[in-house]
């Protein structure tokens, strides 16, 4: 089974008010060069024999702050250490106002064939609240640049449930996103992380708390609008035109191997999960000293992960596949839980598959807890 390669690029132009990721503010400097050299060194010392892979994903942070030369340096090492399929999906996360026509054409010529584009919202007031460092026109301009550079597989990230955001605001966002016709959309409900500036603004009452009922309504509107515009929901938060599902992200939900490199990157090799150091300077130092920055390794209870990750997918999980992999029947093992969830109309068994209902998508955490 072909795996995926994840590369974490921890630099951003500025810090968004809701973000708790491992990111540093980007400046053209030796620090970025040192980081690129470190991630290349980590990749090249990670495998003895090339492992087959058919996805490469530059995530962050803002990977589109790297120059095409730096991306080329990393991709060369990846293709030396992994046996990449001819049709490998190579995705780069990009933020508005971080790219030019030249850099985009550089990425395309290196084989980057998918862009995951951090739009978040087309409302300038909300972009300010989120301290995104760009406005809605920057997003529109960058989208045009991406299309002109030949990107035919574009994904938008949108965030719902912002403080003060109404259902009408959300609908306007969706209408604009639909009119631009990306191939893929990811919807995230805003998560409040303690210690971030946004959490402090909410705590002090300077911003209204997001309203859960409105957020649920936004999810419903999203389901209706995407389906009316030819998108298929294939995962709780992800919608794609036919054939444009994210091959890389699907590997996480199917428990396929994904090898992560860079600061705070997580990996799963089919048996164990392991993770790197979370601090960028410490990561670079450790790689320079010993070629590894691993700080955590654990066995995975893959039988229960297979259930709650697989349930995120619209088609749910294959009960026959579960029996083949783990030698047990889900229906027997979780008899009580399944009956309770079915009575609440949160799950359904459809042929050989167990899946969430539309209501179950909204209350997915309650379902997942039953299997942990
Ligand atoms: S661009 Fe993304 S990773 Fe960077 S600070 Fe903003 S939310 Fe965090």
For residue 15 and ligand 1, the question of a CB distance below 6 A is answered with yes
For residues 155 and 245, membership in a common domain is answered with yes
Specify whether the CB–CB gap between 304 and 345 falls below 8 A: no
Average pLDDT over the chain, rounded to an integer = 93
For residues 248 and 320, membership in a common domain is answered with no
pLDDT recorded at residue 29: 75
For residues 184 and 321, membership in a common domain is answered with no
For residues 216 and 348, membership in a common domain is answered with no
Domain enclosing residue 149, as ranges: 3-253
Residue 267 inside a domain? The answer is no
Q: Taking the C-alpha atoms of 323, 327, 333 and 339 in order, what is their torsion angle to the nearest 10 degrees?
A: 10
For residues 45 and 173, membership in a common domain is answered with yes
For residues 353 and 229, membership in a common domain is answered with no
pLDDT recorded at residue 48: 65
Enclosing H/E stretch for 9 = strand 3-9
Residue 180 inside a domain? The answer is yes
pLDDT recorded at residue 47: 73
Question: Over the stretch 116-137, which tens digit does the pLDDT of each residue have?
Answer: 999 999 999 999 999 999 999 9
Residue 24 inside a domain? The answer is yes
Among candidates 154, 219, 171, 163, which has minimal Cα distance to 191? Answer: 163
Per-residue pLDDT at 26 exceeds 80: no
Band the pLDDT of 27: cuts 50, 70, 90.
Answer: confident
Ligand 1 center–CA 136 separation, angstroms: 16
For residue 19 and ligand 1, the question of a CB distance below 6 A is answered with yes
Residue 80 inside a domain? The answer is yes
DSSP-derived secondary structure letter, 313? B
Question: Over the stretch 41-91, which tens digit does the pLDDT of each residue have?
Answer: 999 999 767 789 999 999 999 999 999 999 999 999 999 999 999 999 999
Per-residue pLDDT at 192 exceeds 70: yes
pLDDT recorded at residue 121: 97
Question: How many Å apart are CA 90 and CA 98, to the nearest integer?
Answer: 19
Q: Show Cβ contacts of residue 138 under 8 Å, excluding neighbours closer than 6 positions.
A: 96, 97
Per-residue pLDDT at 269 exceeds 70: yes
Ligand 1 center–CA 135 separation, angstroms: 15
User: In degrees, to the nearest 5, what angle opens at C-alpha 228 toward C-alphas 223 and 230?
Assistant: 100
pTM: 0.94
pLDDT recorded at residue 196: 93
Ligand 1 center–CA 117 separation, angstroms: 12
Q: What angle do helix axes 68-81 and 101-109 make, rounded to 10 degrees?
A: 10
Residue 93 inside a domain? The answer is yes
Domain finish residue from 209, 234, 253: 253
For residues 187 and 332, membership in a common domain is answered with no
Left (φ > 0), alpha (ψ -120 to 50) or beta: where does 85 sit? beta
Specify whether the CB–CB gap between 272 and 300 falls below 8 A: yes
Specify whether the CB–CB gap between 163 and 209 falls below 8 A: yes
Mean pLDDT of 323-352: 93
For residues 16 and 115, membership in a common domain is answered with yes
Pocket-testing residue among 21, 24, 132, 139, ligand 1, by greatest number of atoms within 8 A of Cβ: 21
For residue 62 and ligand 1, the question of a CB distance below 6 A is answered with yes
Q: Cβ of 37: how many Cβ atoms within 10 Å?
A: 17
In this structure, are strands 258-261 and 272-276 parallel, antiparallel, or unpaired?
unpaired
Share above pLDDT 90 across residues of the chain, in percent, rounded to a whole number: 80
Residue with tokens 């995951």: 116
pLDDT recorded at residue 354: 96
Question: How many Å apart are CA 79 and CA 54, to the nearest integer?
Answer: 11
How many domains does the chain divide into? 2
Pocket-testing residue among 19, 26, 98, ligand 1, by greatest number of atoms within 8 A of Cβ: 19
Per-residue pLDDT at 263 exceeds 70: yes
Residue 295 inside a domain? The answer is no
Residue 154 inside a domain? The answer is yes
At 326 the three-state DSSP class reads helix
Question: How many Å apart are CA 310 and CA 319, to the nearest integer?
Answer: 11
For residues 192 and 339, membership in a common domain is answered with no
Ligand 1 center–CA 340 separation, angstroms: 39
Closest-lying ligand 1 atom to the alpha carbon of residue 20? 8
pLDDT recorded at residue 296: 96
pLDDT recorded at residue 18: 93
- Rg of the chain in Å (alpha carbons): 21
Residue 340 inside a domain? The answer is yes
């Amino acid at each position: 089974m072909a795996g995926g390669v994840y590369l974490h690029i921890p630099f951003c132009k500025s810090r968004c008010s809701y973000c708790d990721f491992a990111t540093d503010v980007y400046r053209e400097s030796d620090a970025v060069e040192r980081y690129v050299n470190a991630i290349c060194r980590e990749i090249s010392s990670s495998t003895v024999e090339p492992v087959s892979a058919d996805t490469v994903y530059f995530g962050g942070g803002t990977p589109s702050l790297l120059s095409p030369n730096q991306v080329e340096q990393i991709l060369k090492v990846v293709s030396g250490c992994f046996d990449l399929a001819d049709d490998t999906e190579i995705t780069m996360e990009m933020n508005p106002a971080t790219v030019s026509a030249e850099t985009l054409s550089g990425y395309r010529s290196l084989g980057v064939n998918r862009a995951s584009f951090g739009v978040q919202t087309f409302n300038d007031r909300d972009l300010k609240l989120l301290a995104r460092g760009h406005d809605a026109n920057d997003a529109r301009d960058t989208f045009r640049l991406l299309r002109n550079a030949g990107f035919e597989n574009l994904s938008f990230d949108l965030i719902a449930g912002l403080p003060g955001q109404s259902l009408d605001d959300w609908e306007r966002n969706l209408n604009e996103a639909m009119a631009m016709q990306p191939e893929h959309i990811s919807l995230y409900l805003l998560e409040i992380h303690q210690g971030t500036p946004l959490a402090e603004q909410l705590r002090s009452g300077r911003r209204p708390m997001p309203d859960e009922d409105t957020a649920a309504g936004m999810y419903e509107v999203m389901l209706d609008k995407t389906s009316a515009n030819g998108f298929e929901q294939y995962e709780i938060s992800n919608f794609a035109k036919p054939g444009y599902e994210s091959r890389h992200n699907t590997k996480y939900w199917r428990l396929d191997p994904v090898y992560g490199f860079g600061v705070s990157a997580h990996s799963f090799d089919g048996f164990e999960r392991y993770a790197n150091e979370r601090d960028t300077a410490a990561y670079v130092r450790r790689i320079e000293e010993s070629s590894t920055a691993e700080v955590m390794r654990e066995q995975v209870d893959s039988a229960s992960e297979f259930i709650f990750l697989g349930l995120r997918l619209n088609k749910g999980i294959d009960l026959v596949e579960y029996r083949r992999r783990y030698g047990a029947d889900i229906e027997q093992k979780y008899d009580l839980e399944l009956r309770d969830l079915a009575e609440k109309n949160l799950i359904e068994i459809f042929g050989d598959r167990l899946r969430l209902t539309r209501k179950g998508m909204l209350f997915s955490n309650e379902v997942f807890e039953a299997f942990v």
